[in-house]
Structure 1
Amino acid sequence: MKIRFKITSALLATIRIDLRRPHPFAHERVGFIAAGLAAAHDELLILAREYRPVRDDEYLNDPRVGAMMSAEAIRSARQWAMDERVAIFHVHTHGGTGVPGFSGTDVSENAKFVPNFTAVAPHAGHGAIVLSDTAAHGQVWLDRKSPQPFITTFHEVGIPIRNWRAA
């Protein structure tokens, strides 16, 4: 399956600026992107619509990881998916340049909480994205049991239009 993720330059800039803000104890910021989906044949198009950061009081002080969200942060994002019938993508950044990858912690934590979005909002795929300063990498959960494909290409829509392969 070919999976394309489209986001406007303005929305992507807003996300990157937010994720760079310092936090009193977390080493990184995280947030959620709401998206619409369109599917045809063997292709899925994900259209990013809106971003919501995880609030300062929704981080847990866990020195083992860069950032740990509270159950309330995840519950709020799940409610957003249900109420507005959107796909939800957890997002954070590793900085640097080039196509980033998920850390071992990212892989294990994503596998714990992202599938729960498909239980409350099965109308959409949900996922996780990690950004660098120039690119992104992401994965999609279409349901709780199927393999989780990676996003094939990212398209930053603006002037200029930027595209990169991520898988």
Structure 2
Amino acid sequence: MNIRFKIMSTLLAAIRADLRRPHAFAHERVGFIAAGLAAAHDELLILARDYRPVRDEDYLRDQSVGAMISAEAIRGARQWAMNERVAIFHVHMHGGRGVPGFSGVDNRENARFVPNFVSVAPHAVHGAIVLSDTAAFGQVWLDRKSPQPFITRFAEVGMPIRNWRAA
């Protein structure tokens, strides 16, 4: 399956700016991207529409990870998916240049909570994205049982348009 993710450069810049903000105790910030979907044959197009940061009070103290968020933060994002009938993508940032990758902790935690989005909002795919300063990398859950493919290509729509392969 060819999975493409498109995002406006203004939205991507706002997300990166938010994720760079310091937190009182968490080492990184987290947010959620809402997206619309278009599919045909073996193609899936994900169109980023909106972003919501995790509120400061929804971070939990946990020294074993860069950021741990509360069940309330995840519940709010799941409610957003159900109410607005959107795909939801958990997003955080590793910084640096080039295409980033998920850490072992990212892989473990994504596998624990992203399938819950599929359960409560099965009308859409859901997933996780990690950003660098210049690119992104992501994975999609099509349902609870299928393999979770990686996003094949990202496009930042603005002046200029930027494309990169991520899988």
CA distance in 1, matches of 2:20, 2:59: 15
Residue 153 (structure 1) aligns with: 153
Aligned residue runs from structure 1 range 44-123, under 5 A: 44-123=44-123
Q: 1:49-97 deviations in whole A, cap 9, x for unaligned?
A: 0000000000000011000010000000000000000000000000000
Name the count of aligned residue pairs.
167
SS of 2:22 mapped into structure 1 = coil
TM-score when normalising by structure 2: 1.00
Structure 1: gaps (5+ residues):
none
Instruction: Determine the C-alpha separation between the residues in 2 that align with 1:119 and 1:26.
Output: 28
Aligned partner of residue 114 in structure 1, secondary structure = helix
Please give the residue correspondences for 1:132-143 in structure 2 after superposition, counting only pairs within 5 Å: 132-143=132-143
Offset of residue 17 of structure 1: 0.1
The residue aligned with 1:6 is 6
Structure 2 residues not aligned, in runs of 5+: none
CA distance in 1, matches of 2:90, 2:151: 14
Match of 1:16 in 2: 16
Aligned CA-pair RMSD: 0.2
Identity %: 83
Give the ranges of 4+ consecutive aligned residues of structure 1 lying more than 2 Å apart after TM superposition. none
* 2:145 counterpart SS class: coil
